[in-house]
């Protein structure tokens, strides 16, 4: 059997002037994205932070607590980015396209966020205790899409249909295509993912309403 080479280790770069609790969380989050949820030890977090395991435990008594808080940070990153970039976009059609752009697993921060999300999905599938964390997080994203589709229907830029059904279809497509990109499926790419999502929106959500604009 051919051995699969381990990914090259990346240097963890977290600003040194952050308050300790936030620095621990950001470091843990980056380690999860790089190495995986179960491969991150408290000792690894301490080493990357340049501190002791006792300091980590002062803020987070258990490894599970620090890792779960790091996962919650993943949600906050995405939500804060959406708020910052979308608060001035009034047209629902353009807003939906921008939401899609903000979810593409491009290299860097967005790909790291996707890496963490994949691990949240896996943990939720095998550990029922993780499911509330996952669904609380995912519902925020799902509801943002649903509200945007409802707004587009009110504006007349989206066709009249069940917004929840359209949201379920679009979010499932985003998830599936994102997994293909991250796992290196032949022929998959961020550009191809974008094109497929835009096609879906134009054909199934905007439809004739979008073409009249």
Give me the domains of the chain, ranges plus CATH numbers.
13-69 (1.10.10.60), 89-211 (1.10.357.10)
**What integer pLDDT is reported at residue 209 of this predicted model?**
58
pTM of the model: 0.80
Q: How far is CA 160 from CA 123, 141, 144, in A?
A: 37, 22, 18
Burial 168-199 (b: 16+ CB within 10 A, else e): eebbebbbebbbbbeeeeeebebeebbebbee
pLDDT of residue 132: 81
Please state, rounded to an integer, the average pLDDT across all residues of the chain. Answer: 85
Question: Tens digit of pLDDT for each residue in 140-196?
Answer: 889 999 999 999 999 999 999 999 999 999 999 999 999 999 999 999 999 999 999
Mean pLDDT of 106-126: 86
Q: Residue range 8-26: average pLDDT?
A: 66
Six-digit token pair at 159? 């066709």
CA gap 139, 164 in Å, rounded: 12
Mean per-residue pLDDT for 82-99? 88
Give the position of tokens 């697993």.
105
User: pLDDT: is 10 or 43 the higher one?
Assistant: 43
Is the pLDDT at 8 greater than 60? The verdict is: no
Neighbours of 203 (CB within 10 A): 10
The pLDDT of residue 59 is: 92
pLDDT at 136 over 80: no
């Amino acid at each position: 059997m051919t051995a699969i080479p381990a990914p090259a280790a990346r240097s963890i770069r977290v600003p040194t002037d952050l308050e300790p609790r936030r620095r621990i969380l950001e470091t843990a989050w980056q380690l999860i994205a790089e190495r995986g949820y179960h491969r991150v030890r408290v000792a690894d977090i301490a080493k990357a932070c340049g501190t002791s395991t006792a300091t980590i435990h002062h803020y987070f008594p258990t490894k599970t607590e620090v890792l779960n808080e790091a996962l919650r940070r993943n949600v906050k990153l995405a939500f804060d980015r959406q708020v910052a970039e979308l608060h001035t976009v009034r047209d629902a059609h353009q807003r939906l396209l921008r939401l899609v752009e903000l979810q593409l697993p491009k290299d860097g921060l967005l790909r790291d966020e996707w890496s963490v999300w994949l691990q949240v999905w896996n943990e939720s599938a095998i550990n029922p205790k993780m499911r509330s964390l996952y669904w609380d997080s995912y519902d925020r994203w799902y509801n943002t899409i649903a509200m945007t589709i409802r707004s587009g229907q009110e504006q007349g830029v989206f066709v009249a249909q069940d917004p929840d059904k359209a949201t379920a279809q679009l979010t499932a497509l985003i998830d599936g295509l994102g997994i293909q990109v991250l796992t290196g499926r032949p022929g998959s790419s961020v550009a191809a993912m974008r094109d497929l999502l835009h096609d879906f929106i134009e054909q199934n959500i905007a439809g004739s309403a979008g073409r009249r604009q």
